[in-house]
Chain A
Amino acid sequence: MSTPERYDAIVIGGGHNGLVNAGYLGKAGLKTLLLERRHLVGGAAITEELVPGYKFTTFSYAISLMRPDIVQDLELVKHGMMVLPLINTFQPGLNGEYVFLGADADANYHEIARHSIEDAEASRDLDHLISRLCRALKPWMDRIPPNALSADPAEVAALAELRDYMASLDPEVRGLMEKFVNRSAAEILDEYFENDLVKALYASSGIIGSRVGPRSKESGLVWLFHKMGDYDGVPGQWGFHKGGNGGFTQVLARAVEGFGGTIQTNAGVSRVLYEDGRATGVELQDGTTLSADLVVSALDPRQTFTRLVDPDDLPQDLVQHITEYKFQGTAAKVNFALSAVPTFPGLEGREDLYMGFTNLGPSIDYLEEAFADCEAGRFSRRPFLDCCVQSTLDPDMSPPGKHIMSCFVMYAPYHLAESDWDTERENLGDTVQATLEEFFPGFGDLVLHREIVTPLDIENLVGLSEGNIFAGELFESQLFLNRPAPGWNQYRTPIAGYYQCGSGTHPGGCVTGGPGMLAARQILGDRAG
């Protein structure tokens, strides 16, 4: 079966990057079709009303790295973008102690000083230095990275520019950059802090979504990556989109349609069609073929290079890279509908505790133990949890007086040594709930509904290979010049007219839109000749 409709561009996958890409292509005047396999767009950024009145952020739940240019270029405010401040951070311990940080720097100083007066000051130094580094790196987040393998004089010049730029950085800033690349989060933290609760608070950014412990070398870079965004111009801060990240992707969908793009759901693509090394269209899972001059894959690198096209048609060094590219998902989600906010002993009745991230992972050792389980091929018996009771910020997430709580769970390795995820699903839920019970006695009594999302669910539902939340680890070997493979880090593929724009391309995973935006820039540049 074949339809007569012809598009200038077809974007495969309605995650936020596919939507951003389609938005830019539509804005440039291209007749653009976006194809999404599921019944809804958003990919890993969706909100689902699983129980009437309760909106679950099934997968991702907070926003910070969204590239500001996109907000302006795609007029997202007009379409309803609204990011609420996550005003507080709560780091409870298991012995009644806690760190509770808010919007006031001086109050935060005194709060940390309760644990260590030196840490209170050091945290200001470190925060400022990280902000300076992020500011320095930002321009490179928002441009197409150089191609390190190209002999093209423009690419050679871009690489030289990069080298000169890095060399020109203030030595203190460059020094921190080198630390983040070469050292573990724990090592860096040891240099700045003495208190374990404070260290653990910082260390959580270094392990999120990655198969690393706080003492693994790669955790430095993972930490830095999570600080590259901002909330309302405040570096490193996170926010919560009205209606969850699904609320945000609905905004994007309206923007795509506003720029004339067409979105088709329930339209899984089985393969990309190409002739003589040039893309000609796509074939849907139901056999329909659609033709277009341009095809953009917003899926991860494994799908883009080995599923949607025949890897035999690609250069073998590229296929080799993609085969070795690390996914190794280690994260899960357990989301709760609650009858009330949890109670922390000593701070009863304090809803404000939960108006932001609540980090359950009170020491470096706790996090390392959780990671040791992962290395042994099982999910953590006492997991690290990054929680957020989003209904304390956005009343439309739950019925009045009731709450919705998102818990991001580390570690849950995709490959279980002695079991499988269908068997372990409820066990994971119980383990997470038991951990919450430890910190918040009586938690179980509050639970009205529980949603468990295993790494296998992430793979099956979203299409993220092995459930890696970032479409591939955020390791140096897989970032920037190397994302997803050296020489193929500029959104093109070996097939002319076939491009990639998923989180497996620069700048990488998280709700950043960067891949979608930069790929559009590359596509439109190539078209202009």
Chain B
Amino acid sequence: MPRTTPFQSRLEPLNQTGIWKHWSGYLVAPQYQYSLNAEYYAIRNSVALLDTSPLFKYRFTGADARALLERAMARDIGDCPVGRAQYTCWCDARGYVLQDGVVMQVADGEYWLTAAEPALHYFRVLAREMGCAHVEVEDISSAFGILALQGPHAHSVLLQLTDAATPLKYFGVTSATVAGCEVTVARTGYTGDLGYELWINAADALTVWDALMMAGKGYNITPMGTTALKMARVEAGLLLMGADFHTSRFAWVDAQRETPNELGWGWMFRKLAQDGRDFVGRAAIATELEQGTSRWTTVGLAVDWHDYERAFVEAGILPPRHELYSESTMSIYRRGAKEWDYAGYASSFLSSSLLRKPIALAKLPLDLSVPGSEVDLEISVIRKPKNVLARVERMPFFNPPRKTALMSGSAE
């Protein structure tokens, strides 16, 4: 029997499709309405509300909490003061990625972390190995529900309930009272748009859900399923574990593993030469960066609209565009004299309705990673493989100023 999140009694009647799927053992709706695009556009046009409670949540407390995270995390936890959140990842000793997640310091020395896969045991073992006696790592996954409020009107909605989150810097964190309930609000999200994520005590879940839905009524607040979220994150250039990379923990061979630099997170190590941090995987990562041994670069690919169109028109059919999202591997080839000259692969593909072109997240060798580089992407046209022109494009594909803008105004 799948578990349900603390919002389930509200979600149930909203799911017009009757379709549910499982996420980390919880019941979630891939989409609520028949129109997936309606949910997808809510993120860009109005405001969407998403239950992300199935994420694993961990709390780090005690005098050694910071030391443990300094050791565990590949990104410098020193850059995450109280009231800030940080996108980070952690690696194994060989410098391969175990997971990514968002960590925030909610109070002095108290950190909360989200993870896609269980990691409690991992962090506790690490603490023991380090000899950190004064740290407690707890699984608080079911103590909280998390709601993501995302879209251009996210602030208009939140502001009606609290002014504690105004202005809240991008990746800022604050506590707030919403409908009489203590919540933690982070200016974060997985959509690349203006948005907030609210950590809500499980007992308060329905009260806060109702308050948000009520406050959002005039702004066409739209419950969003996980598929629309995944579509938006491709436009935002955000990777998904299980699609664009896999945890090193259960890989069989290194070909299934990726390093942070191969995933485009080299920026986490900009100060590596100076900072002397001793985190898990450091030596391997330092060597990789020094010797340039990364096998891949993660890039954004934009498919040439005309070429995509032509591939289908020539076959006598309409180019598929509407609500087209896929996480299956697509091969990429070098364009040149040699046919089918394998270069890399795309791991997420979206026919972006907003951007009016198909886009993809891809792994390419370094020499093809410069924006503007042209490659062939293999698609399937009436069951036959066919190459279409695609170009490397700087990510995020969509990056509205409101994503990071300081929002102003006061509660009415």
Contact = CB atoms under 8 A, between A and B. Distances in A.
A128 to B, nearest CB: 11
A315 interface: no
B355 A77 contact: yes
A242 B45 contact: yes
A102 B35 contact: yes
Interface in B346-400: 351, 353-357
Contact of A395 (B153, B318, B354): B153
Contacts of A394: 45-46, 220
B402 interface: no
Interface string A212-237: 00000000000000000001111100
Contacts of B218: 395, 399-402
Given A233-B321, A233-B322, A395-B46, A84 B33 contact: no
Interface in B32-91: 33-38, 41, 44-47
Given A233-B319, A234-B322, A107 B220 contact: no
Contacts, number: 78
Contact of B34 (A68, A102, A135): A102
A87 interface: yes
A349 B368 CA distance: 55
A393 B322 contact: no
A482 interface: no
A99 to B, nearest CB: 15
Given A72-B305, A84-B45, A104-B34, A393 B220 contact: yes
Interface string A233-251: 1110000001000000000
Interface string A395-431: 1000111100000000000000000000000000000
A498 to B, nearest CB: 32
Nearest to B215: A400
B318 A233 contact: yes
B219 interface: yes
A123 B43 CA distance: 33
Given A87-B33, A395-B46, A401-B218, A82 B354 contact: yes
A72 B308 CA distance: 13
Contacts of B353: 232
B320 interface: yes
A85 interface: yes
A392 interface: yes
Contacts of B323: 232
A254 to B, nearest CB: 15
B318 A135 contact: yes
Nearest to B153: A395
A103 interface: yes
B306 interface: yes
A85 B354 contact: no
B220 A103 contact: no
A131 interface: yes
A16 B146 CA distance: 45
Contacts of A103: 33-38
Interface string A156-180: 0000000000000000000000000
B300 to A, nearest CB: 15
A496 interface: no
B21 interface: no
Contacts of B354: 77, 82
A131 B318 contact: yes
Nearest to A108: B34
Given A234-B322, A235-B318, A395-B219, A82 B34 contact: no
B153 A77 contact: no
B121 interface: no
A84 B151 CA distance: 14
B33 A82 contact: no
B219 A400 contact: yes
Interface string B182-197: 0000000000000000
A148 interface: no
A372 interface: no
A71 interface: yes
Contacts of A81: 356
Contacts of B321: 232-234
Given A103-B33, A400-B219, A232 B322 contact: yes
B356 A77 contact: yes
Contacts of B305: 68, 72
A85 B38 contact: yes
**Most chain A beta-carbon neighbours within 10 Å: one of B37, B305, B309, B319:** B37
Interface residues of B, number: 32
Contacts of B38: 85, 87, 103, 355
Nearest to A233: B321
A400 B318 contact: no
Interface in A107-137: 107, 131, 135
B48 to A, nearest CB: 12
Nearest to B156: A400
Interface in B311-357: 318-323, 351, 353-357
A211 to B, nearest CB: 33
Nearest to A400: B218
B379 to A, nearest CB: 14
A355 B34 CA distance: 13
B34 A85 contact: no
Contacts of A107: 34
Contacts of B306: 72
Given A395-B218, A399-B218, A82 B318 contact: no
A251 B356 CA distance: 15
A177 B218 CA distance: 45
Nearest to B36: A103
B319 A400 contact: no
A124 to B, nearest CB: 16
A232 B305 CA distance: 13
A159 to B, nearest CB: 23
A257 to B, nearest CB: 19
B45 to A, nearest CB: 6
Given A77-B354, A77-B356, A394-B45, A85 B220 contact: no
Contact of A72 (B33, B44, B47, B356): B356
A103 to B, nearest CB: 4
A77 B357 CA distance: 10
B37 A82 contact: no
A84 B41 contact: yes
Interface in A379-397: 392-395
B134 interface: no
A399 to B, nearest CB: 7
Contacts of B41: 82, 84-85
A82 B220 contact: no
A85 B217 contact: no
Nearest to A85: B37
Contact of A401 (B44, B217, B351): B217
A84 B220 CA distance: 13
A400 B217 contact: yes
Nearest to A88: B35
Nearest to A237: B322
Contact of B37 (A72, A104, A232, A400): A232
Contacts of B220: 392-395
Contacts of A71: 356
A88 to B, nearest CB: 8
A72 B323 CA distance: 19
Contacts of A395: 45-47, 153, 218-220
13 contacts: A68-B305, A72-B356, A76-B356, A77-B354, A82-B44, A232-B321, A233-B321, A234-B321, A235-B318, A242-B45, A355-B38, A393-B220, A395-B218
Interface of A: 68, 71-72, 76-77, 81-82, 84-85, 87, 102-104, 107, 131, 135, 231-235, 242, 355, 392-395, 399-402
Interface of B: 33-38, 41, 44-47, 153, 156, 217-220, 305-306, 309, 318-323, 351, 353-357
Give the 3 A-B residue pairs with the shortest CB-CB distance, closest first.
A400-B218, A233-B321, A103-B35
Given A232-B322, A233-B320, 4 more contacts: A233-B322, A394-B46, A395-B220, A401-B217
